[in-house]
Amino acid sequence: MTSDLFNLPTEYQDLRESVRALAEKEIAPHAHAVDEDHRYPQEAADALIKANLHAAHIPDKFGGEGADALAVAIIIEEVARVCASSSLIPAVNKLGSLPLILGGDEEQKKRWLPALAQGKGFSYCLSESEAGSDATALKTKAERTSSGWLLNGSKKWISNAGVSEFYTVIAQTDPSKGSKGITAFIVEKSDSGISFGAPEKKMGFRGSPTREVYFDNIEISDDRRIGEVGKGFAIAMDTLDHTRITIAAQALGIAQGALDAAEKYSHERKQFGKEIFEFQAIQFILADMAMNIEAARQLTYAAAAKSERNDKDLRFFSSASKTFASDVAMKVTTDAVQVLGGYGYVSDYPVERMMRDAKLTQIYEGTNQVQRIVMARNLP
């Protein structure tokens, strides 16, 4: 037997402490303004890039930190604890670049990963207006030409679109073959023919610009293709198996931030001559919040370990962690608003923002209803 059984190794605990300190100092002071003004969290981006936390998953040989899936989850969790919009910087950078890491060749990795490590963003373009949960119903097409490919179409709900320099684009190359007629490509913001729609007016995550991305006769060479022709859908799905865990981590951070705010308020607010924490009704709410957060954390960290090992049951655990943690985040943030009462409903306190942010974690990278289908088909 060992006394540190089931404890995180020291390096992960140290990472949490350092990211929390950075988030509290550099990110938290701007979170309210980022949400109110619907603006990109540039202060967070600058701080994360300076600390090499914006894309820590990049292997060190390409200029990154070589952080494993658990370390990345902890980074995202701690940033999301104070500002969910800012946590999308490392989350989107991993999502956008993972198809390249999983399916790209060495020359492609040398071309794009060092630039990402230096601070240039990487977004992921899969969803379309008519291809959300049914991701095979893509209309964006890439047609072969004598010099490479001609890309036309549009993508919807693209996080950090317009800010990122690079875009992984999943496109139809042979519609007659269904999911086996889909291929992945890299498009750069500097390419002629790419443009962006106006930012969506969203309930939450207001600091992360979500736009449509348009591809109008974009000519790209074949060295922009990731993996084999027809393997794009498989690469896209394999990517999501790993990155749904980052959404779980994000939801976990939002929930923890809400619990921290609610617990603090429960000791500050006095009614009937004593702290409201002294009332059993409040204690039960806080206890349930903490219990469910800890359960979500254990599942999320287990899924992250499975991602790092690429275990056979990763797909189940990835979907399970995302679904459970996001459902917990929605419940916990709603309860946090209830603990704060009227103050929870106004923007002077962060819990109403956290509640709005939590909702998205139940929707993107596959709705929780779709995740339950995935889990049922991949029971461990």
| 182: three-class secondary structure by DSSP | strand
Query: Which residues 6+ apart lie within 8 Å of 34 measured at CB?
Result: 40, 41, 44, 83, 85, 86, 206, 207
| 70: three-class secondary structure by DSSP | helix
Specify the DSSP element, H or E, that contains 106: helix 106-117
In this structure, what token pair is assigned to residue 198?
């106006």
In which residue ranges of the chain is CATH 1.10.540.10 found? 10-117
Residue 180's pLDDT band (cuts 50, 70, 90): very high
- Complete DSSP assignment for 121-168: -EEEE--BTTBSS-TT----EEEE-SSSEEEEEEEEEEETTTT-SEEE
pTM of the model: 0.96
For residue range 246-291, what is the model confidence (pLDDT) as tens digits?
Answer: 999 999 999 999 999 999 999 999 999 999 999 999 999 999 999 9
Residue 83 identity (one-letter amino acid):
C
* CB-neighbour burial class of residue 10 (10 A; exposed 0-12, middle 13-18, buried 19+): exposed
Superfamily of domain covering 234-377: Butyryl-CoA Dehydrogenase, subunit A, domain 3 (1.20.140.10)
CA dist., res. 182 & res. 163, Å (int): 26
CA dist., res. 141 & res. 332, Å (int): 42
Active-site option among 26, 212, 352, 365: 365
- Pairing label, strands 166-172, 122-125: parallel
CATH class given for the domain over 122-233: mainly beta
- Would you call 11 a catalytic residue per the annotation? no
For residue range 155-175, what is the model confidence (pLDDT) as tens digits?
Answer: 999 999 999 999 999 999 999
Whether 3 shows a pLDDT value over 80: the answer reads: no
Residue 1's pLDDT band (cuts 50, 70, 90): low
Whether 4 shows a pLDDT value over 80: the answer reads: no
Do residues 269 and 275 make contact, with C-beta atoms less than 8 angstroms apart? yes
In this structure, what token pair is assigned to residue 34?
């980022």
Whether 135 shows a pLDDT value over 80: the answer reads: no
In which residue ranges of the chain is CATH 1.20.140.10 found? 234-377
CATH topology of domain 10-117: Butyryl-Coa Dehydrogenase, subunit A; domain 1 (1.10.540)
Q: What angle do CA 81, 79, 297 make, to 5 degrees?
A: 60
In which residue ranges of the chain is CATH 2.40.110.10 found? 122-233
